[in-house]
Every structure is written in structure tokens, then in C-alpha cells.
Amino acid sequence: MADLTKRLLNEVARDAQKSTGIRPFFMDLNGKTTLLVDPLCDIAPRVRRLRTYALHESVILGQPYFFETVPGVGSWIVALENRRIIHGALIGGDVRTKESDIPDADSIRSLITLGLSPARARDYLSSRSKLTLNERLEAASYLERTFYQISGWKPIQMEENRLRMQQQQQIAEAIEDQKRRGTLSAYPFEKERILLSHIRAGDQSGARRVLNEMLGAMYLTTPKLVVLRARAIEMMGYLTRTAVEDSPVMESLIERNHQWMERLIQARDFEALSRVLTDALNDFIEGIYLHGFNRSNTHVGKALDFITKNYMKPIRLKDIAREVGLSPYRLAHVFKEYSGKTLLQIVIHSRIQNARQLLENTDKNCTEIAYEVGFNDQSYFIRHFKRLTGITPARYRRTRMVPERDA
């Protein structure tokens, strides 16, 4: 994992400049930059406040944020997060907006208002590149992608915020679309089957899209929280029943479903309700896809069933092979071919999933949980837990132990 060093920042800046023609610069949490000369920020505290606000918005939106420094001149900012800690941001550098109809004279007057002399204002404006909206979007996206690829950092909070904003947008679009078409009909039960098909396929983005369409329809049917909550609970019940009917080994979802029901009952508004349903959906995808993919291959299905029942015990490849009636070599090959994962990956995944449940619903400490789910070493457990969830077990427990209150 790379630290935020000058070498890292320079590597990202060179790469971005080579690709987009714009060299970004770093800004810390106090609004200070790495620029030797920062003509606008040095003379106008308002510019620093503007950049700091843009950093905040980038975190909230979970993506690059575009802002206007002065009329006709703008930039973009990419928050730099690693495992829920914000370390600063990268700013793309001021550019002129190609589609702007603002006269240069107005931009120059605004620069003079900030404190530049007329000559410096004209020079500053003439030195700015002109980019279209698409070019600015591509440059910002490239900068974000390049930083996280080179650094290896994990923007967990940014990703969560981005998905939440995406959900709100998709729900709003679904509501507007149904209003335009005048289809304010009853709750779309047929969508439940479509949602389940995406879950079975492990298609998270497709499942979220369908869920958000359903949430939009639910809200249009009636915005009353008590009815929305009842619909949400009904949906969860349908998913659980169907999953258990598909495979008896999914019976553990019944208990898991009770926990989601409690959170749904505690949701204080539609946004909180939507968030709980999204978390539950991700949980279902983890569970159903893990046990449901490629059930057409009986050997793979038997191996998954065996792991589900015995994940907490020491499991060897030859034990699973004996259970499914294949040689260890053949089983490893077939399992990898059909699932895309190794047996060890599935075992560890099952252990971490069950550890999450214990962290959420018991007072057992991390050592006790590690041994209960099958890890013989606590540090090994913590390492894999952090690798798969992005945070330590202790931090995971803290983030899940704050209940939502009724309004």
C-alpha cells in the first residue's frame, strides 16, 4: 500500500498530464497546495474556501466534483481517501469552459476583483486551456482512476457515498418516468422475479437498478412510511422464501432476514429504508450467489454445501473431494472452472461472512469469533477480514452497532 509521498503525487501528475494535457496538484485538508506559486489562492482566501468546499462535496458525492473559480473558468477536484480516512485532494487545474458564453472581459473583471492586476488577469486567462464538458469529465475520471490504480488505496467511504447518490438518482428517475407515462399503478410484483434473477446471477449493478425502480414505484403508490416499510418487509420475505426453496442450505438466510426486518422497522424515513434495503440486497447477493452459481454442476453444488456446513472446522481439499466423489486435483480444476474461485477462497469467504454476523449480533470478542468461524490465528483472521471488507473487525462492529431511531 503506497503512502501519500511526493514521488506518488508526481507520478500521478505526470501520467495525468501526459494523457489529458492538464497537470493536477495536491491540496491538503486545510486548503494548502503543493504549488510554488498559486496566483489565485495566494491573493484570495475565497478561492481556498471554495476548494475546501469542493473537497467536501467530492467526498459526499463519492466522485470528482466540478466547480467554477470565476465565471468562465473552472476546475475539478478528486478527494483522496484510503479506508475511510480523507488525506486531501487532487485539483485538476483551472481551465476555460469551451461551451461558456461568458465574455472574456467578464472573466478578467472577476479575476481583477480577486486581486490580480489587469495585465496578470489577462495573462492568467490566456494561459488556461479550453476544454469541452466531455473533455473535463474524461480528465477528471482519468485523474481519479489513475490515482487509485497507482496508489492501491481503497476509497471505501467514497464508493458507499457514490452508490447512495446513484440510488437516490435512480429512484428519482424511476418516479419521474412513471409520472410521465402515467403508470401510477399498484406495486410491481413482476419486478421481484427480475430482481431475484439478477441476485442469482450475482449481478449487483443490475439488481440495484431494479431495486431502485421498485423503490420508486413503492413511493409513488404511497409515500406513507408505514406502508413503505410493509412493502419492504414483504419484499424481503419473498426473497428469503424463494432462496430457501431453491436450496435448503440457504436456511441461514431466515435468521439473517429477521435481522434485516428489525432494521427496516427502525428506519426513520424513506432514505433510511432505501439504504437498509440496499444493504440487505448486497447481503442476499453474497449469500445466494455464493451457494447458487452453477448449480447445474452437481459436484460444485455438493462442494458448496459441504463448505457451508463445515466452514468452522479445519477443511482440507481431500475432505471435500471425498464428499463429492472426485479426486482432489479434478475437484480443484472443476470448481475453479465453474465458479471462477478456488475452494480456499470460498472457505475464507464463508468464514468472514459468518464473522460479520457474529460481530453484529453478539458480544463475543474478536479472538472468540476468529476461533468460532474456523481461524486458528487472530492476526490471520483480521488480515483476511480487512482484505474482504476494507476495515478491521473492531471498526466493522463500531459502524454496525449504531441503531437507527424512529422519527
pLDDT tens digits for 13-64? 999 999 999 999 999 998 888 887 787 877 788 888 899 999 999 998 999 9
pLDDT number for residue 218: 80
Asked if 163 and 155 count as a contact pair (C-beta separation under 8 A), the reply is: no
pLDDT number for residue 339: 65
Asked if 385 and 355 count as a contact pair (C-beta separation under 8 A), the reply is: yes
Compute the distance between CA of residue 205 and CA of residue 282 in angstroms, rounded to an integer: 10
**Close Cβ partners of 338 (under 8 Å, ≥ 6 residues apart):** 293, 294, 297, 300
State the cell numbers at 336: 475453479
Asked if 303 and 335 count as a contact pair (C-beta separation under 8 A), the reply is: yes
How many helices (H) and strands (E) the chain has is answered by 19, 6
Residue 228 has pLDDT above 60, yes or no: yes
Kindly report the pTM of this predicted structure: 0.56
Compute the distance between CA of residue 97 and CA of residue 108 in angstroms, rounded to an integer: 14
Cα atoms in the 13 Å half-sphere on the side-chain side of 331:
22
Buried b (16+ CB within 10 A) or exposed e, 369-388: bbeebbbeebeebbebbbee
pLDDT number for residue 2: 59
The residue ranking higher by pLDDT, 301 or 156, is 156
**Close Cβ partners of 2 (under 8 Å, ≥ 6 residues apart):** 8, 150, 151, 152, 153
Buried b (16+ CB within 10 A) or exposed e, 65-75: bbbbbbebbbb
Asked if 303 and 293 count as a contact pair (C-beta separation under 8 A), the reply is: no
Q: In the chain, what are the domain boundaries?
A: 6-154, 155-289
Residue whose cell numbers read 428517475: 173
Residue whose cell numbers read 444493504: 279
Q: What residue spans of 132-246 are helical by DSSP H?
A: 133-151, 156-181, 190-200, 204-221, 225-246
Highest mean pLDDT among 38-42, 164-168, 294-298, 362-366: 362-366
pLDDT number for residue 245: 66
Fold adopted by 6-154 = Beta-Lactamase (3.30.450)
204-221 helix and 270-292 helix, angle to the nearest 10 degrees: 140
Compute the distance between CA of residue 401 and CA of residue 405 in angstroms, rounded to an integer: 12
Q: What percent of the chain has pLDDT over 70?
A: 86
Residue 379 has pLDDT above 70, yes or no: yes
Compute the distance between CA of residue 340 and CA of residue 102 in angstroms, rounded to an integer: 54
**Close Cβ partners of 17 (under 8 Å, ≥ 6 residues apart):** 23, 24
